């Protein structure tokens, strides 16, 4: 890929097309796909497209400021890399490349529990720019150890994923007989704290073994325990209802991620962007609200902020870029989204992201 930019894709869809050429069919489908009929996956994209923006004109937009703060941390622009497990499936430098790209562009990377690199190594690659996404294990000591390692390594927040009591049924994976590359699965298991003996014992059924180790009994009181073992701010990822958002506030977490897991869990769940306004209204600014699912353009970031989010997370867009060109690819897709957002600000009459509000959302009268 040329550095003068002439050969880079023009947009996220261009990265997706290149990634599809580069990756094996089963690896591409694994990332691209969703649960069951993929209704929610499609709806995430369609819902953003349905929303129209009414620009304000004759505002001075000669200078534009894109920076924002999330949980007290400064972001050069309001985009965060979503946790994606086992990034080494898509590029040998996987999580290291993603975290470095986030740090290099002034944003954050949420590292998945299913990382193929040890969490300490990723934190060293991007000091101060990483959050840790937590999947809760049945064994609380195991979970405590993981959380305390993340805190000691310098992660700035814990993002507890709450929408995976069981994994969604991903039919593309079933059709392709997709398997996690066994070596990478072993590595990621070692990284979270499974012993070599445990892994060897379950060598023929590693994935079911991991699935069994993860708790399906994650309930609200668990949050009291989690808060008691860490000083890190906690976000709940996977909130889709007003009631759950209010309960999150009552439980004393610092943030929520409005998310349907990129359409990979409950098919028929609503698009995240469609439920964002009611959740923002219910929460009344008591916790920070982030959103993911279907963000593909800078104008999507404007829509999300106008409807109540502080920042967005992107998943597949950076997976494609990582597959295409590693760290440079992820940097490119991030700066592309930043530049699209910058232009969208100018064209909507906003000189900074704080000026984005619901008056930008077009409503038919």
Ligand X SMILES: Cc1cc2nc3c(=O)[nH]c(=O)nc-3n(C[C@H](O)[C@H](O)[C@H](O)COP(=O)(O)O)c2cc1C
Question: Which member of 94, 233, 308, 315 binds ligand X (CB under 6 A)?
Answer: 315
Residue 43 burial (CB count, 10 A): 24
**Annotated catalytic, 7?**
no
Nearest-Å Rg of the Cα atoms of the chain is: 20
Residue 259 binds ligand X (CB under 6 A): yes
In this structure, what DSSP letter does residue 358 have?
A: G
Structure tokens at 127: 């000091």
Closest CB to ligand X among residues 84, 107: 84
**Rounded to an integer, what distance in angstroms lies between the CA atom of residue 294 and that of residue 48?**
7
Rounded distance between C-alpha atoms, residue 158 and residue 253, angstroms: 10
The residue number whose beta carbon is nearest to ligand X equals 315
- Residue 335 and residue 325 in contact, taking contact as beta carbons nearer than 8 Å: no
CB of 316 to ligand X, least distance (A): 4
Does residue 112 touch ligand X according to CB under 6 A? yes
Of the CA atoms within 13 Å of residue 217, those in its CB half-sphere come to 7
Q: Does 261 bind ligand X (CB under 6 A)?
A: yes
> Smaller CB distance to ligand X: residue 51 or 314?
314
> Which of 129, 161, 188, 348 lies at the binding interface for ligand X (CB under 6 A)?
161
> Is residue 254 near ligand X by the rule CB under 6 A?
no
Gap between the Cα atoms of 303 and 273, Å rounded:
8
Residue 94: which of 129, 118, 127, 128 has the closest Cα? 118
Number of residues engaging ligand X in binding (CB under 6 A): 22
**One residue of 9, 78, 94, 114 binding ligand X per CB under 6 A:** 114
Among 88, 186, 297, 316, which residue interacts with ligand X (rule: CB under 6 A)?
316
Residue 260 CB, nearest approach to ligand X (Å): 8
Q: Does position 292 bind ligand X by CB under 6 A?
A: yes
265 binds ligand X (CB under 6 A): no
The answer to whether residues 52 and 46 touch, using CB atoms and an 8 Å cutoff, is: no
Verify binding: residue 293, ligand X, rule CB under 6 A: yes
Query: What's the burial of 144, exposed, middle or buried (CB within 10 Å: 0-12/13-18/19+)?
Result: middle
Residue placing its CB nearer to ligand X in the complex, 94 or 294: 294
288-to-72, 284, 351 alpha-carbon distances in Å: 10, 10, 22
Of the two residues 38 and 120, which places its CB atom closer to ligand X in the complex?
Answer: 38
Residue 191 binds ligand X (CB under 6 A): no
Binding of ligand X by 133 (CB under 6 A) = yes
Q: How far apart are CA 265 and CA 295, in angstroms?
A: 18
Nearer to ligand X by C-beta: 125 or 210?
210
Segment 225-244, which members bind ligand X (CB under 6 A)? 237
What distance, in Å, lies between the first and last C-alpha atoms of the chain? 47
Tokens 């993911």 locate to 292
Whether the Cβ atoms of residue 285 and residue 291 lie closer than 8 Å to each other: no
Between residue 21 and residue 50, which ones bind ligand X under the rule CB under 6 A? Answer: 31, 44
Per-residue mark of binding to ligand X, 56-85 (x: CB under 6 A) = --------------------------xxxx
What's the min distance (Å) between Cβ of 252 and ligand X? Answer: 21
> Is the Cβ of residue 111 or residue 283 nearer to ligand X in the bound state?
111
What token pair was written down for 281? 């209204």
Compute the distance between CA of residue 40 and CA of residue 270 in angstroms, rounded to an integer.
Answer: 6
Q: How many angstroms separate the CA atoms of 35 and 310, rounded?
A: 28
**Closer residue to ligand X, CB minimum distance, 83 or 326:** 83
- Cβ atoms within 10 Å of 112's Cβ, excluding its own: 23
Distance of closest approach, residue 186 Cβ to ligand X, in angstroms: 17
For residue 289, state whether it binds ligand X (rule: CB under 6 A): no
What is the contact surface with ligand X in residues (CB under 6 A)?
31, 44, 82-85, 112, 114, 133, 161, 237, 259, 261-262, 264, 292-295, 314-316
Could you give the residue numbers annotated as active site? Answer: 261
């Amino acid at each position: 890929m040329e550095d003068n930019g002439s050969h880079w894709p023009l947009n996220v869809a261009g990265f997706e097309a290149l990634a599809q050429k580069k990756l094996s069919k089963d690896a591409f489908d694994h990332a691209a796909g969703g649960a069951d009929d993929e209704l929610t996956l499609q709806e995430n994209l369609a819902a953003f497209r349905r929303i129209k923006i009414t620009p304000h004109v004759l505002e001075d937009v000669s200078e534009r400021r894109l920076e924002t703060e999330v949980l007290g941390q400064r972001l050069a622009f309001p985009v965060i890399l979503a946790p994606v497990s086992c990034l080494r499936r898509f590029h040998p430098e996987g999580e290291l490349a993603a975290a470095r790209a986030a740090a290099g562009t002034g944003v954050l990377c949420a590292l998945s529990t299913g990382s193929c690199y040890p969490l300490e190594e990723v934190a060293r690659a991007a000091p101060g720019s990483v959050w840790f996404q937590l999947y809760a294990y049945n064994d609380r000591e195991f979970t405590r150890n993981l959380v305390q390692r993340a805190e000691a390594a310098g992660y700035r927040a814990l993002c507890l994923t709450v929408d995976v009591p069981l994994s969604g049924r991903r039919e593309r994976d079933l059709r392709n007989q997709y398997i996690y590359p066994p070596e990478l699965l072993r590595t990621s298991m070692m990284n979270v704290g499974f012993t070599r003996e445990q892994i060897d014992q379950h060598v023929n059924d590693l994935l079911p073994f991991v699935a069994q180790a993860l708790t399906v009994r994650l309930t609200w009181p668990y949050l009291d325990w989690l808060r008691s073992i860490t000083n890190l701010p906690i976000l709940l990822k996977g909130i889709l209802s007003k009631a759950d958002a209010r309960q999150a506030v009552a439980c004393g977490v610092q943030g929520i991620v409005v998310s349907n897991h990129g359409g990979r869990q409950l098919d028929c769940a609503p698009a995240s962007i469609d439920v964002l306004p009611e959740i923002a209204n219910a929460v009344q600014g008591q916790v920070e609200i982030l959103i993911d699912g279907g963000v593909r353009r800078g104008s999507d970031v404007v829509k999300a902020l106008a409807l109540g989010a502080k920042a967005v997370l992107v998943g597949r867009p950076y997976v494609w870029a990582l597959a295409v060109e590693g760290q440079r690819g992820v940097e490119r897709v991030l700066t592309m989204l930043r530049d699209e957002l910058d232009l969208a600000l100018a064209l909507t009459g906003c000189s900074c992201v704080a000026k984005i509000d619901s008056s930008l959302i077009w409503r038919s009268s």
